[in-house]
Structure 1
Amino acid sequence: MMIWLLRIIKLTAILVPLLCILVYFTLNSSKPTLNAELATSIPELTTVERDKNGIATFSSTSRESIAYALGFVHAEERFFQMDLLRKNSAGELSELFGTLAVDFDSKIRVHQFRKRATRYLKDLPQDHRQILEQYTKGVNAGLANLTVKPFEYLILNTAPTDWKAADSLLVLYSMYIDLQHQFGEREQILGKIKNHFGSDIYHFLNPAGSIWDASIDDTRFPESPIPTQGFKSQSTANNSVDTAPYYVLSNNHHESLPGSNSWVVSGELSKTKSAMLANDMHLGIRVPNIWYRAGFRYPINDRQIAIDGVTLPGTPAMVVGSNRQIAWGFTNSYGDWSDLIALNTTDNGKSYKTPSGNKPIIKEQEIIKVKGGADKVITISSSQWGPIIGYDSNGNPLSMRWTAHDPEGMNFNLLNLETALSTEQGINIAHTMAIPAQNIVIADNQGQIAWTIAGPLPVKESSLDSPDWETPQDWSQGDYRWLGYFSSEEKPTVMNPSSNRIWTGNSRVVGNDMYKKIGNGGYALGARSLQIKQGLFALDQFSEQDFLNIQNDNRALFLTRWQALINDELLTPDFVSENQLEALKLHIENWQQRASIDSVGYTIVRAFRMEVRQSMFDILLAPLKNTKTSKVDIHPIRHQIETPMWAILSSKPEHISPTGFANWNDFLEQALLRTIKKLKDKHGSLDNANWGTINTAKVQHPLSKAVPALSWLLDMPSMPAAGDSYMPRVQGPDFGSSERFVVSPGHEESAILHMPSGQSGHPLSPYYGNGHKNWIQGTSSPLLPGSTEYTLTLTPKERD
């Protein structure tokens, strides 16, 4: 027996290293090509120079060749990421992940983005189609050039499929899904609230404005008064720490909206005398990062284009960048880009009423291909306004009217920004762009600045005196309708304001007639924008480092009043002594007023606010739990209910005092005690609950989430991170600034750019993860690449 055991041990000792060697060489064979001269079908010779961090500069004599080379490199570095993006919007993830993805695919297929992408591709201008076609050829050439298919497909035991030009449109549709409510979730919950509680409570919980308003035109919108009736106090055991909530207001402890910060100052305020721009786009953070850093060098007419910034793998465009004349950046606009129509059905639900008579509900079938399983056939129902995406609280089908469904919602005019010479030209181009509607800010080397909406703006018309576009409505009588889209000349625009400053942070940007065109689709609370505004008015002249300092601003101005509530109102000597809260008192007093990694007080104040919000709305919205729908998700309105919540806490109205507690003060004291208990249960003591422990960046590869054993190979090192939701430095464990960009056009040598996780998606890349530490720490790193370490040359094949 012992002999056989020894033989097994010896055999294992031989096989394990051999297996490791096999895995290494297999992975190594799927690495991207860094140094080579390759004959390809590229139109003209193109070089790809990379520095030690993998930052790529593409040089050629034509933009089409740049597109080919970019596609080649994207495929070798990031094909799995690109594949996920196209399959995400097309509802085809089941082809990779089998039955695990069927429910998601079945839900997203209702939008039929694959059909739309194929159809709208034909509408693109010829020069853009040519760029897409060359990009597509480059992608497939890069994929074919790999000795072994990308390692993700080895793990999944499947093969990648060729790229199609329409797939690049699907990548943009994935951005629609990420940046806008793809099922009208906000309208659905607001509709439930209005239908159940009435208009007064609806307006109270959906306020037009707040003290946090920070528009660039200084317009202010009022808060709504506390209703005198309508809320019913609910008996509750919520003073028990074990009570399960009715609703989950946040999917995790971080609650930011996909969005971003961006601002510009004119040449009057910059040390370079050119205008200056900052942009940090807030998205989910993963390995590899969503963006790929690149520079393009090519001639057009008598001009040499030199542009640097970030590209989106799966598309040929420079998404954010500077071309020496202009620079641009984006933040998500939460204007009103979709509407839900409550269909007035007839004929046992087979038809619905319209202003021009009854029409049949259209049904189509689609097939979901499932890896390792049988195909699934689903039925998609739609009206003249759009697909049916669900049902309201009265059981009426909800049809969705969304800019993403229309041809006006998709083009690649972003490509035209690369050659713009001035802010005015950039704005004119932005007005023609069809992307998920964005706030775009532009700065130029002449000192000019501007803001507008890049993306389709629907023209909405109603015959009602006070139409409500924020909840589902019956359009069968013609009271609500879309009349097409605003022209370029009609789009809201601000150029060269007298303040010499423009800022956006996903909150409302403008008021008056411009706001009426944009509407309200669920803006972020203006706390972050207000803090940016204050930072911009704190100085009269700015350098690039000054802008980075604002991007890294983690002061907790938003939570200051919550800290005062705990310290000044709750932590009375008697309450502290009775509950032995002396240590808590010290942490609250010394909270640093910022989301710094060593602050325990910040953790407590933040957790207390979340506990109060959860408990209060468990009570106030409890009647919704008994409506016809089984799930009530108020997560889409989590930001806006800060305003009514604070109004209640400030006045403590007796007519909606929570039963189960002696008074509002008792409610708050019990919430604080629950907060402390939860923190101690999780961390052992309050001293261990510093913000860095809780806000540890865990930047993971999609496969390591499914196979944790791969984490050591694929994921970035876990690091404590400063920052949070309601401050310029937005940071969560897996959410935050997907890049930080600062540039003054014409002075790119002093510009700043860093991003998480680095350039490559391959763990054996020599620069895998390079730059991640700068991103975590918020330290300056250059936009322009360093000296060339690797050179790839793509040459045209000889033609017969």
Structure 2
Amino acid sequence: MVKWIVRGVIGVAALVLILVLAVTGWAGWRFVGSQPRLEGEIRLEGVTAPVNVVRDQYGVAHIFGETDADIYFALGYTHAAERFFQMDLYRRTAQGRLSELFGERALRADIRARTLGFPEAARHALANLSDEARLAIEAYVSGVNARLEQGNPAPEYLFLRTRPEPWTLADSASVVIVLADDLAAGEGEDRERARASQVLDGLMLEQFLSAFPDWAPTTLKDDDINAAFGAIRRESLPPPPGTQPDNEPGSNAWVVSGNRTETGAPLLANDPHLGLSAPSIWYFTRLNLSFGPVLGASLPGTPFITLGRNAHGAWGFTNTGFKVIDLFERDPETVQLNTRIETIEVRGQRDPFELTVRETAEGPVLDPQWFDLTGFDSEALVVRRSTVSDPDNRVADATFSIMRSTGWQEFVEAGRGWTAPMQNMHYAGVDGTIGYTTAGLLPIRDEDGEWTGFVPFEELPRIANPAGGSIASGNNLPAGAAYPYPLPGRYAVHRAVRIEEMLAERRRHSLEGFMTMQMDVTSALAQAILPALLAAQPESELGLQALARLEGWNASLDADGPEGLILSAWLRVLTESVWADELGSMARYFRGPRPVFVQEVLTGDASSWCNNVTTTPVETCPVIAGLALDTAMAELARTNGSDISSWRWGDHAQGYFAHPMDSLPLLGDMFGVRVPVGGDGTTVNVANFSYAGEGFDIVHAASLRAVYDLADLNNSRFIHGPGQSGHPLSPHYRDLAALWSRGEYFQIRDDWTPESAPQGSRRLTLRPN
């Protein structure tokens, strides 16, 4: 009897083992089988003639076809093969459908998207498409779905135990809405003022929300503004409601004319700063279209090159920072309201969640149950007005027109249909023209802050071939008081200071010099405040050693040295010490660097902030800075030991390319990517970390770097991280991360064919079925 029981147990165990191995094998097969196919031939419905997708050694897709429609089809197929899960998250974020995948933990994000009307904004964008742009997107959508019909497009669906839905034109429109809202400024500024004004008033409030300083550079200079806009007068416009400096997410771009380069032709550099992610937000590609080659950074989910160049010129974008979102307090007794019901499917719940959204003619009402409205009048309705939701959105056609532009005037005119996000657009042409233009809807406000219209397209900030021979943007204020319209918004300061300093250091610039500039980690903030910091009065031995390390320091936050770690840890403690006592319960909303305000406290007229108002003695800045240094050094010693010479900023400042699956047990490391970086939020090579946490993970930095050589466009250089592919088993998932970290670049050339492709390339041919 016992023998039969033992045999039964063994049999059951064997059966379980077989089932486990079968399931594991099936899962492994699904995981491996979801990798993109890189070579060979595939027959598909949707192409009219063979299309070649040739990936070079870096995974950049060069696409060759007989018709533009076939090329857009192949791009859709390629995006879906490499990046479909990313595309799916983009559309679900905009459509308020993340809860269908992730359950209740994503519900608040879906409520936000539905409340703000993102699905409706995408429908407007779709309705506004020209016939030509619509045909391009339709071909792209067909290519995406051709890949989906083959099944198993991404390994993430294995873990989520679901299958993706087909792609639609509305989905492509949704992708752009996500990026536009992420970059649009205004809501954060209104929240900060509402909260800070609860505990500060008068001079202290204005110091804390400090205006863009007089000493900081603007992108356009007054002489150029006067020359371009001198005839425009708007006497009735009120002064701007505020130009608040910050080092929030932004970008760099600068361009110089040929008389300031070694080749005699313009150079243009661009590195847009966004949240780091695996895979990258961008996908490098070259499209060999009927009107010529266009190459650079495409946005998965859309068929166009957003940042890049054609045969006639190159372009790069940075965020303007213009205030294009306002939060208004409205009287519930007088405002007219409409309501709509949004139904949100939530995974794991039998019944969908029903959301009631109240709307006004200006925009949606923010429900305090789902939106943190601390600081606003609890009796009022808080209404959000935003250009992102404007029904005239024609960004797709504008991007398409930029791709086809043959010179400066066409490039400028292409922006006429742009609504949001407002962008600084830098341009360099093979004819020697350099220029800067802005595109988008810039609200005009009356003395009460109410919107009365938009700045006419012809009168937006713009210049061609300025007298100084250069145009630089580090998300600083685009134009000063000479510009005839107010420019409220949020602007960075210190990166632009450093860029202009480096541009002025030499008369003639080179491609290699521009790449070096993009990797610069010298902080203009550190240069400005270092004398004040060195006057600190620490009491600990480690604090004194840290001060000694900073004596004679050149303010460069190199990854290989300890100084970046010392400064970053010190400022994180010091900033909270400066304003936590004045802000009290509101302090938790302001955990961030605030570099201009910190500079004004340490070197300007705001030094009274160093005093702790909750204590009787009057503290000075050297005293409070010394105490903060002691605290910071003690914290660092606990994790790094007491030998400061062995500390390395790059051991802590790790560029963290996050992936939704990187927290999975055992398999998470397969998805996440980390590499060391230098710099901080004020350096040209931006490396932003959170002041609310304990570590120094860099979560916001250069999403790509590009330098365009107008003497030889094929000599232009590109890089992004961590890699071209979104599949963790692909050789191109993380192969660019180390190059990105070290500041290395590669070329994306347009002078070869599938038959003459560089060594190491792999060709996939899509043929009609």
TM score, norm. by length of structure 1:
0.83
What letter matches 2:365 in structure 1? Answer: I
Structure 1 residue 609: deviation in Å? 2.0
Secondary structure class of the residue paired with 2:193: helix
Deviation per residue, 1:388-430 (Å, 9 max, x gap): 1254532121111110111234431111111211122212212
Which residue number corresponds to residue 82 of structure 2?
77
Confirm or deny: 8 A CA contact 1:754 1:783 kept in the other structure.
no
Which residue number corresponds to residue 526 of structure 2?
559
**Pair 582,724 (structure 1): closer, same or farther in 2 beyond 3 Å:** closer
Which residue number corresponds to residue 704 of structure 1?
662
Q: Distance in 1 between matches of 2:67 and 2:294?
A: 14
Which residue number corresponds to residue 455 of structure 1?
440
Confirm or deny: 8 A CA contact 1:207 1:643 kept in the other structure.
no
Which residue number corresponds to residue 596 of structure 1?
558
Identify which of 614, 633, 642 aligns with 1:685: 642
Q: Distance in 2 between matches of 1:581 and 1:260?
A: 34
Written as runs of structure 1 = structure 2, the 5 A alignment for 1:367-446 is 367-373=343-349, 374-389=351-366, 390=368, 391=373, 392-395=375-378, 396-412=380-396, 413-446=398-431
**Pair 580,769 (structure 1): closer, same or farther in 2 beyond 3 Å:** closer
Q: Distance in 2 between matches of 1:44 and 1:699?
A: 38
Which residue number corresponds to residue 232 of structure 1?
none
Unmatched runs of 5 consecutive residues or more in structure 1: 221-254, 347-351, 354-358, 470-479, 626-630
Confirm or deny: 8 A CA contact 2:184 2:420 kept in the other structure.
no
Asked if residue 186 in structure 1 is aligned to residue 189 in structure 2, the reply is yes
Secondary structure class of the residue paired with 1:703: coil
TM score, norm. by length of structure 2:
0.87
Written as runs of structure 1 = structure 2, the 5 A alignment for 1:26-41 is 26-35=30-39, 36-41=41-46
Structure 1 residue 787: deviation in Å? 4.0
Asked if residue 50 in structure 1 is aligned to residue 37 in structure 2, the reply is no
Structure 1 residue 216: deviation in Å? 3.1
Which residue number corresponds to residue 602 of structure 2?
646
What letter matches 1:719 in structure 2? Answer: V
Written as runs of structure 1 = structure 2, the 5 A alignment for 1:145-156 is 145-146=150-151, 148-156=152-160
**Pair 704,328 (structure 1): closer, same or farther in 2 beyond 3 Å:** same
Q: Distance in 2 between matches of 1:588 and 1:535?
A: 23
Confirm or deny: 8 A CA contact 1:89 1:177 kept in the other structure.
no
Written as runs of structure 1 = structure 2, the 5 A alignment for 1:285-300 is 285-300=276-291
Q: Distance in 1 between matches of 2:611 and 2:576?
A: 20
Secondary structure class of the residue paired with 2:666: helix
What letter matches 1:185 in structure 2? Answer: G
Asked if residue 715 in structure 1 is aligned to residue 672 in structure 2, the reply is yes
Asked if residue 329 in structure 1 is aligned to residue 306 in structure 2, the reply is no
Which residue number corresponds to residue 492 of structure 1?
461
Structure 1 residue 641: deviation in Å? 3.0
Confirm or deny: 8 A CA contact 2:650 2:676 kept in the other structure.
yes
**Pair 678,416 (structure 1): closer, same or farther in 2 beyond 3 Å:** same
Structure 1 residue 651: deviation in Å? 4.5
Which residue number corresponds to residue 159 of structure 1?
163
Which residue number corresponds to residue 243 of structure 2?
none
* CA RMSD between the two structures: 2.9
Confirm or deny: 8 A CA contact 1:427 1:442 kept in the other structure.
no
What letter matches 1:393 in structure 2? Answer: F
Q: Distance in 2 between matches of 1:276 and 1:216?
A: 17
Which residue number corresponds to residue 206 of structure 2?
203
Asked if residue 617 in structure 1 is aligned to residue 562 in structure 2, the reply is no
Which residue number corresponds to residue 342 of structure 1?
329
What letter matches 2:466 in structure 1? Answer: P
Secondary structure class of the residue paired with 1:329: strand
Confirm or deny: 8 A CA contact 1:172 1:435 kept in the other structure.
no
Confirm or deny: 8 A CA contact 2:212 2:477 kept in the other structure.
no
Structure 1 residue 137: deviation in Å? 1.2
Structure 1 residue 513: deviation in Å? 4.9
Structure 1 residue 676: deviation in Å? 1.6
Confirm or deny: 8 A CA contact 1:149 1:159 kept in the other structure.
no
What letter matches 2:699 in structure 1? Answer: D
Q: Distance in 2 between matches of 1:640 and 1:343?
A: 33
Q: Which moved more, 1:613-622 or 1:579-588?
A: 579-588
Which residue number corresponds to residue 278 of structure 1?
269
Identify which of 673, 693, 703 aligns with 1:738: 703
Which residue number corresponds to residue 235 of structure 1?
none
Asked if residue 549 in structure 1 is aligned to residue 516 in structure 2, the reply is yes
Secondary structure class of the residue paired with 1:319: strand
Written as runs of structure 1 = structure 2, the 5 A alignment for 1:459-498 is 460-462=444-446, 464=447, 467=448, 469=449, 480-483=450-453, 485-498=454-467
Q: Which moved more, 1:644-653 or 1:168-177?
A: 644-653
Q: Distance in 1 between matches of 2:729 and 2:86?
A: 17
Structure 1 residue 773: deviation in Å? 1.4
Q: Distance in 2 between matches of 1:643 and 1:218?
A: 24
What letter matches 2:746 in structure 1? Answer: S
Which residue number corresponds to residue 540 of structure 1?
507
Q: Distance in 1 between matches of 2:390 and 2:120?
A: 12
Confirm or deny: 8 A CA contact 1:324 1:747 kept in the other structure.
no
Q: Distance in 1 between matches of 2:631 and 2:199?
A: 30
Structure 1 residue 367: deviation in Å? 0.6
Confirm or deny: 8 A CA contact 2:610 2:624 kept in the other structure.
no
Confirm or deny: 8 A CA contact 1:559 1:606 kept in the other structure.
no
Deviation per residue, 1:515-549 (Å, 9 max, x gap): 725x222112x100110111111122222111100
Q: Distance in 1 between matches of 2:543 and 2:628?
A: 14
Confirm or deny: 8 A CA contact 1:47 1:794 kept in the other structure.
yes
Deviation per residue, 1:701-732 (Å, 9 max, x gap): 22113x1422332233x332122210111125
Q: Distance in 2 between matches of 1:580 and 1:39?
A: 67
**Pair 342,700 (structure 1): closer, same or farther in 2 beyond 3 Å:** closer
Secondary structure class of the residue paired with 2:485: helix
Q: Distance in 2 between matches of 1:92 and 1:493?
A: 39
Secondary structure class of the residue paired with 2:555: coil
**Pair 71,86 (structure 1): closer, same or farther in 2 beyond 3 Å:** same
**Pair 635,107 (structure 1): closer, same or farther in 2 beyond 3 Å:** farther
Secondary structure class of the residue paired with 1:709: coil
Secondary structure class of the residue paired with 1:261: strand
Asked if residue 773 in structure 1 is aligned to residue 738 in structure 2, the reply is yes
Structure 1 residue 504: deviation in Å? 0.6
**Pair 194,714 (structure 1): closer, same or farther in 2 beyond 3 Å:** closer
Which residue number corresponds to residue 652 of structure 2?
694
Structure 1 residue 9: deviation in Å? 10
Confirm or deny: 8 A CA contact 2:655 2:675 kept in the other structure.
yes
Confirm or deny: 8 A CA contact 1:408 1:456 kept in the other structure.
no
Unmatched runs of 5 consecutive residues or more in structure 2: 224-245, 689-697, 751-757
Which residue number corresponds to residue 229 of structure 1?
none
Confirm or deny: 8 A CA contact 2:564 2:679 kept in the other structure.
no
